[in-house]
Structure 1
Amino acid sequence: MSFPPAPSGTPDTGSRSVFDGRMPAAPGDLRVEARGITPVPEHHRYGGPGRLFTVWFAPNLTMTGVFTGTVGIALGLDLPTALLAVVLGTLVGAVPTAYLGTWGSRTGAGQLPLARLAFGRSVAVPGLLQWLSSVAWDALIGLFGGDALARLCGWPFWLGVLVMMVGQGALGVLGYEAIHRLQKLMTFVLAAAFIALAVRLPHSAHPAAAGSVHGADRVGAFVLTSTIALSLALSWAPYASDFSRYLPRSTSRPRMFWYTLLGVSVSFVAVQTLGLWGASVFTDQTARGVDALLGGGVLGGLGLLAVALAALCSNAMNDYSGSLALQTIGLRVPRPLAAVIAAVLGFPLVLWMHAADTAARFQNVLLFVGYWIPGFVAVVLVDWLARARTGAPVGLTTGSNRSPSGRAALVAFCAAFAAAVPFMNTGLYTGPVAAALHGADLAYYAAFLGALVVYAPLRLRRRTVG
């Protein structure tokens, strides 16, 4: 499959001062990146595909992933069965993320800006959802990072979260290159910290050798565990090309795919395996569990610091992609300011999650922030492949190469969510199909297939204008 080169220039925004701006010029250029959703021109690209492994590995080494891993045991599965569910779900979710990430080098554009090709003006809907999701992820991850920082420094919880949000907001302001450089360093630091946790775990935790659910209930718990793991890996899909848009067009796409796939899947499987093994230790008070597991003292303090740094790394990416999503909606807000806004709004959501049943609220937010993503992925994939089939140019410089209204994409997107509703299983709502299947949540699969069935005939029948 091949596309003609994407033309250079700016999108039809009418405001270069907001959507355009300064770009990093080379590895290590840590000045503030003002560049918004305007595609990065070919002559300004740099870097190699190897940096995609570290940028997708480090941000997943968070206690959010560890806590998510405990869910399989909490649902009554034994360790081997829960681990199989985690591996399968992670791989299914990581493949679309890795494929979408290869689009960045081909177009110089972020993922939500690229979605305008399919959605046209209707991109405001997935753009708003992506922005809200980035705020929600700030809370999901900042919950544990803020708690760890507060315990480490002897602060109240709210102050730990506030300092965490200030730090991640600053990184989001610095932008693309600062995030890549930090993730490269943190890959080694955080990997060492989590290896230390893994070494101590067998002496303190007692993994579930036998499950408490059987028959159809066991199948339902397996599917739900797999879906939760899938939701983690797939949650990066709307961000994917944001962190490859500065790579040269000539960058090997297979290498980009495999580096991203390995970065996402290896990290998520590793941290969820820790959660499965140490479910008896890592309860709602995950940061306290880390401190106790490492025996307190200096080693426990280093463990808490690693938890806080991991949250900082991950949430910086949330704020960065959230800034691009906010511009994609059509708001003429400078990208650095948009990153700050996402960090600020994440603060009260963390406090809300911490105020009551953390486990229940965590699972509900985790699932709900992702139910829209499979429909989005299906729509942009079909549109991309349709353009490949016709040889239409893939660029964002003119209105002629994207759907003016995006009505068909929006209809399919809404149909995908409607198709998912009967299959959902959360603490707030359980669909009739999920209830009949003993809790098995198949909503992500239903949403993807629903969008595919609705959008593919409409898109393939429409003549692509280029």
Structure 2
Amino acid sequence: MAYGEKVVKVEPGGIEPVAAQDKHGRPIQLFWTWTSPNLEFATIFLGVLAVSAFGLSFWQAAAALTLGNLLGSIAHGFLSARGPVHGVPQMVLGRVAFGYWGNLLPASLMSIMAGAGWFAVNSVSGAFALNSLTGLPVLLCLVLIVAVQILIAFFGHNLVQAFERYVFPVLAVVFLVTAIFIFARSALSGIGGAGGLGGFLLTASAAFGYTAGWNPYAADYTRYLPAGTSRRAVGWFAGSGLFLATTVLMLVGAASVTVGGNASSNPATTFTNNLPPWLAALTLLAIALGAVAANVLNVYSAALAFLTLGINLPLAWRRAVVAACFGAIGFVLAWLGLSDAGHAYESFLLVIAYWIGPWLGVVLVDMHVRRGQVIDSALTDTRHRNWAGPVAMLAGMLISIGLFSNQSLYTGPIPQAVPWIGDITFLVGFVIAAGIYAVWPKTPVRAG
């Protein structure tokens, strides 16, 4: 069914390569595609945690946050650049490195992360913002936020891209004014600083987990671009949009802690307590819109990852139906998580990095090893096996989590013995997986 540039039309099919007649768009659209979903409270809250929970001063937090975001954004640019050529989602591209069936490992984790975890986290922040703005019950606000998210994701790629484009100027202007106001009132060197190297590594790890958390989505939003689109332009706009939004808002969050003010059980209210009433109202509206901007990507990409598992749904709108199902599951999880959003968010960010680090190590090494090769046949060939991928990823996860994890639920022996090391699980997992995959024999892609 023809789809093309139609916005108010349900995107047909699932994860098949985009047909030539449906290809459209320009690289610059990726800037707001990746800026808009990160102009939201979850981004701000990580900056808050860097000072209030991880014990850093503002300037220490700024360095750690910038480092983590930069690493995740660079990787995002490289991955995004592959979409126009192959015309398939990011998880389908992963079949080259992991094999058709070995790819079930990252695709399953991606489905859970995006469709359940991130969807729930962002829905909670949007619901809290709408509750602070309107006074409506939090549960009703959650229902409204989730309903809008599911509707946009149900229609698919073109409506998602259009929403990100038109919400971008609203979010950018509101958060720019908010940032100026907060920085003008903050005491950037007046709080924190006792976190040491451990707090720095913990913050950098969480920032990387947040930003690299978008890496498994990368090609999902570039696959509709014409095949001849400049790879450099695609990578630049995708990576810079992601880096700018995450870094600026995380620094705003870190600075907001130094302003002080009255705390509230509602994190969004705490953040806006020190703003003038008119700006507080606009900021709360922007937080709610930003949550929707983030979650339409989450539920859309979760549906694509789920279909990558090889589950055959004989439906013309199979992606749309799966997206609606993930939205319903995410709503339930968000409802259950309303009472302890802060602690759950902190733990979730770090857990994300635990699997994405090893996955990213495998994918980036595979891209380097196979550069210039024709890989398209491996994207649909059920006979393609490449056990180097899942073996390297599992080894990276098990070793890094078992030895280096620094969580309230489990702390590995190395941070127990050396507390100042903080949490470097993502880095260790990346290095181990990349190293194993680099030396492990890899299966060539079959011809044809």
Task: Choose from 353, 357, 361 the match for 1:374.
Answer: 357
1:69-84 alignment to 2 at 5 Å? Answer: 69-74=47-52, 75-84=54-63
Q: Separation in 1 of the partners of 2:148 and 2:173?
A: 22
Task: Choose from 157, 160, 173 the match for 2:154.
Answer: 173
When residues 403 and 230 of structure 1 are mapped into structure 2, their CA distance, relative to the original with a 3 A threshold, is farther
Task: Choose from 396, 413, 424 the match for 1:442.
Answer: 424
When residues 212 and 370 of structure 1 are mapped into structure 2, their CA distance, relative to the original with a 3 A threshold, is closer
Give the equivalent residue in structure 2 for 1:29: 7
Query: Is the 1:102–1:253 Cα contact (8 Å) retained in structure 2?
Result: yes
Between 404-413 and 158-167, the greater mean CA deviation after superposition: 404-413
Give the partner amino acid of 2:429. A
Task: Choose from 66, 72, 93 the match for 1:114.
Answer: 93
Give the equivalent residue in structure 2 for 1:50: 28
Q: Is 1:452 the equivalent of 2:437?
A: no
Number of aligned positions between the proteins: 435
The CA deviation string for residues 39-88 of structure 1, in whole angstroms up to 9 with x for no partner, is: 11234211111011110111000100100001221222111111011111
When residues 411 and 89 of structure 1 are mapped into structure 2, their CA distance, relative to the original with a 3 A threshold, is same
Query: Is the 2:4–2:21 Cα contact (8 Å) retained in structure 1?
Result: no
Give the equivalent residue in structure 1 for 2:324: 340
When residues 458 and 283 of structure 1 are mapped into structure 2, their CA distance, relative to the original with a 3 A threshold, is farther
Query: Is the 1:117–1:403 Cα contact (8 Å) retained in structure 2?
Result: no
Give the equivalent residue in structure 2 for 1:324: 304
Post-superposition, which runs of at least 4 consecutive aligned residues in structure 1 deviate over 6 A?
none
Between 235-244 and 146-155, the greater mean CA deviation after superposition: 146-155
Give the equivalent residue in structure 1 for 2:348: 365
Q: Separation in 2 of the partners of 1:340 and 1:144?
A: 20
Task: Choose from 95, 99, 103 the match for 2:74.
Answer: 95
Q: Is 1:199 the equivalent of 2:149?
A: no
Query: Is the 2:60–2:193 Cα contact (8 Å) retained in structure 1?
Result: no
Residue 199 of structure 1 deviates from its aligned partner by 2.8
The CA deviation string for residues 436-464 of structure 1, in whole angstroms up to 9 with x for no partner, is: 1425211111111111122222245x444
The CA deviation string for residues 312-362 of structure 1, in whole angstroms up to 9 with x for no partner, is: 010000000001011011223410011111211112222332223x32221
| Secondary structure, counterpart of 1:318 in structure 2 | helix
Give the partner amino acid of 1:369. I
1:146-157 alignment to 2 at 5 Å? Answer: 146-157=127-138
Query: Is the 1:107–1:395 Cα contact (8 Å) retained in structure 2?
Result: no
The CA deviation string for residues 412-439 of structure 1, in whole angstroms up to 9 with x for no partner, is: 1110101211222222222222331425
When residues 264 and 395 of structure 1 are mapped into structure 2, their CA distance, relative to the original with a 3 A threshold, is farther
Task: Choose from 269, 272, 293 the match for 1:288.
Answer: 269
Query: Is the 1:45–1:248 Cα contact (8 Å) retained in structure 2?
Result: yes
Task: Choose from 112, 116, 126 the match for 1:145.
Answer: 126
Q: Is 1:223 the equivalent of 2:201?
A: yes
Q: Is 1:265 the equivalent of 2:243?
A: yes
Give the equivalent residue in structure 2 for 1:19: none
Query: Is the 1:145–1:311 Cα contact (8 Å) retained in structure 2?
Result: yes
How large is the Cα RMSD of the aligned pairs? 2.0
Task: Choose from 198, 210, 213 the match for 1:235.
Answer: 213
Give the partner amino acid of 2:93. L
Give the partner amino acid of 2:91. L
Query: Is the 2:38–2:246 Cα contact (8 Å) retained in structure 1?
Result: yes
Residue 380 of structure 1 deviates from its aligned partner by 2.2
Task: Choose from 116, 139, 151 the match for 1:158.
Answer: 139
Q: Separation in 2 of the partners of 1:324 and 1:110?
A: 7
Task: Choose from 425, 429, 448 the match for 2:410.
Answer: 429
Query: Is the 1:172–1:320 Cα contact (8 Å) retained in structure 2?
Result: yes
Give the partner amino acid of 1:375. P
Task: Choose from 3, 6, 17 the match for 1:39.
Answer: 17
Query: Is the 1:425–1:439 Cα contact (8 Å) retained in structure 2?
Result: no
Query: Is the 1:105–1:251 Cα contact (8 Å) retained in structure 2?
Result: yes
Q: Is 1:417 the equivalent of 2:401?
A: no
Q: Is 1:310 the equivalent of 2:290?
A: yes
Q: Separation in 2 of the partners of 1:267 and 1:203?
A: 20
When residues 299 and 219 of structure 1 are mapped into structure 2, their CA distance, relative to the original with a 3 A threshold, is closer
Q: Separation in 1 of the partners of 2:2 and 2:235?
A: 24
Residue 174 of structure 1 deviates from its aligned partner by 1.2
Q: Separation in 2 of the partners of 1:383 and 1:440?
A: 30
Q: Is 1:350 the equivalent of 2:334?
A: yes
The CA deviation string for residues 357-388 of structure 1, in whole angstroms up to 9 with x for no partner, is: x3222111121133111211222223333332
Give the partner amino acid of 2:60. T
| Secondary structure, counterpart of 1:24 in structure 2 | coil
Residue 91 of structure 1 deviates from its aligned partner by 0.1
Give the partner amino acid of 1:240. A
The CA deviation string for residues 144-170 of structure 1, in whole angstroms up to 9 with x for no partner, is: 101111232322111111111111011
Query: Is the 1:319–1:343 Cα contact (8 Å) retained in structure 2?
Result: yes
Query: Is the 1:136–1:369 Cα contact (8 Å) retained in structure 2?
Result: no
Q: Separation in 2 of the partners of 1:116 and 1:352?
A: 34
Query: Is the 2:128–2:141 Cα contact (8 Å) retained in structure 1?
Result: yes
Query: Mind listing any 5+ residue stretches in structure 1 that lack a counterpart?
Result: 1-21
| Secondary structure, counterpart of 1:82 in structure 2 | helix
When residues 108 and 23 of structure 1 are mapped into structure 2, their CA distance, relative to the original with a 3 A threshold, is farther
Between 242-251 and 278-287, the greater mean CA deviation after superposition: 278-287
Give the partner amino acid of 1:140. V
Q: Separation in 1 of the partners of 2:371 and 2:56?
A: 44
Query: Mind listing any 5+ residue stretches in structure 2 that lack a counterpart?
Result: none
When residues 274 and 174 of structure 1 are mapped into structure 2, their CA distance, relative to the original with a 3 A threshold, is same
Q: Is 1:388 the equivalent of 2:371?
A: yes
Q: Separation in 2 of the partners of 1:203 and 1:103?
A: 42
Q: Separation in 2 of the partners of 1:335 and 1:393?
A: 24
Task: Choose from 124, 132, 139 the match for 2:112.
Answer: 132
| Secondary structure, counterpart of 2:101 in structure 1 | helix
When residues 195 and 396 of structure 1 are mapped into structure 2, their CA distance, relative to the original with a 3 A threshold, is same
Q: Separation in 1 of the partners of 2:273 and 2:192?
A: 26
Give the partner amino acid of 2:392. A
Residue 254 of structure 1 deviates from its aligned partner by 0.7
Residue 124 of structure 1 deviates from its aligned partner by 1.6
Q: Separation in 1 of the partners of 2:344 and 2:268?
A: 17
